[in-house]
Chain A
Amino acid sequence: MGAQGMLEGLPEVLVILAKIFAITLPLLGVVAYLTFAERKIIGYMQVRLGPNRVGPRGWLQPIADALKLLTKEIILPSASSRFLFLLAPVLAIAPALAAWAVVPFADGMVLASVDAGVLYVLAMSSVGVYGVILAGWAANSRYAFLGAMRSAAQMISYEIAMGFALVGVLMAAGSLNLEKIVLAQQGGVLSWFWLPLAPLFVVYFVAGVAETNRAPFDVAEGESELVAGFHVEYSGMGFAVFFLAEYANMVLIAALTAVMFLGGWLSPFEGLPAEVLGVPVLGPVLGPGLHWLAAKTSLLLLLFLWLRATFPRYRYDQIMRLGWKVFIPVSLLWIVVLGLAITTRVAPWLD
């Protein structure tokens, strides 16, 4: 114990740190290029070119953006509570990153295979509200305050729907551990949980879109009415950290949806004969692995962008109605149906 005990644990902590950076640094890269992809893809959907000036075909745009934000002044509004104003972005990004600790990337490839993984993820995403509330209050600006209250109420409303959807996943998998949840979906596309849990799949993903305050649920920032919502007063890196947190949350929701409903790292072509899987390049590609999780996550992220390009913004009362009056009854009903199926053992895919 004491100093010696600390030293003994040191190499272990260094290994953990190395692993954490192996997760966060690529994640930040994904986030940076997600912003680029968003502008590019929505550009093409609207028959525009999107950013194409910085670097070949605009590929250096995110780097230019980051550098620009880095060299801008961080304005501390005179009426604000300075400490809380600076604390808010930290509280927004820390849970968005920390939730990745329990996400399984491939078989055995997870930083912390904790037993209560789903509960941990839900707890972390509920902590994310603080960044928004504090940002709005600390800035002491009307627009920021209004935006913060709106998005806080929206986030907590959709968190309930998300929680209920997760209960369904737990019932089907019989475990809170995300690795075990993926392993419970073995057996090809039709055994993934999107099929038996179809309503919950939709509820979870749409609630995820609302939870991250993305279009069409972006009333919190609604440019035309609230300027930018809770982060109006932020500039430079303060704004950048909020931006990172929002996109990191999007990637997180997409990855979690893939893990819980689309079989995570499992291959859709499960049950291929061993000869096929033995083929040099084709085998590993068709077999399970990190690349399938990446592909599914990317597909869901594309859906995020597509939603933004397609749908007009919901009205606030419509958003609250969808969360409370549609999603909660639907997911509750499906939980009861699932519970009946499991106790009477009529559902073959839920062992």
Chain B
Amino acid sequence: MLDNYLPVLVFILVGILFGVGPLVAGFVIGPRRPYDEKLSPYECGFEPFGDARAPFDVRYYLVAILFILFDLEIAFLFPWAVVLDQIGLAGFLAMMVFLAILVVGFVYEWKKGALEWE
């Protein structure tokens, strides 16, 4: 099994090289004539108003939290999907109970308006 993953590891390294290579080439070949105006962040010609890293709507955190929970649900569904024809009705019902419990959460989320972007 591990033999299969050696190419994957090498591919990830090559992928990183394909990102670093062009950047290095750009630095070597491209010119380098910085001045203040050029290096200031783009803000429609204004001087930037302070730091751009401002606090953000809490809704984004909520989406990220819900994403984690649903991602976990998917991680639980993957092995089930693969062995479904072997574990029979009991295995199927086990997942239905699991999904039913989570659908309660999903309905709660929906009714509470956590999915609305106003």
Contact = CB atoms under 8 A, between A and B. Distances in A.
B7 A72 contact: no
Contacts of A126: 71
Given A156-B64, A167-B78, A141 B43 contact: yes
Contacts, number: 230
Given A17-B10, A112-B5, A176-B78, A236 B26 contact: yes
Contact of B15 (A93, A152, A325): A93
Given A70-B29, A101-B7, A153 B60 contact: yes
A335 B77 CA distance: 10
Nearest to A161: B70
Interface string A112-134: 11110011101000100000000
A202 interface: no
B81 A241 contact: no
Interface of B is mostly: helix
A68 to B, nearest CB: 10
Contact of A97 (B14, B22, B77): B14
A16 B7 contact: yes
Nearest to B115: A324
Interface string B8-42: 10111011101110110111011111101011111
A157 interface: yes
Interface string B37-60: 011111100001101111010001
Contact of B23 (A19, A86, A113, A168): A86
Interface string A318-351: 0011001100110010011001101100000000
Given A70-B25, A167-B78, A171-B84, 17 more contacts: A17-B10, A73-B34, A74-B30, A78-B40, A91-B19, A96-B15, A97-B15, A112-B11, A115-B1, A141-B42, A176-B78, A237-B30, A238-B23, A324-B115, A329-B106, A335-B99, A339-B95
23 contacts: A17-B10, A20-B10, A24-B14, A69-B26, A70-B22, A73-B32, A75-B34, A75-B38, A92-B19, A98-B8, A142-B43, A143-B43, A149-B56, A149-B60, A159-B71, A163-B77, A167-B74, A167-B78, A174-B85, A176-B82, A237-B23, A238-B26, A320-B63
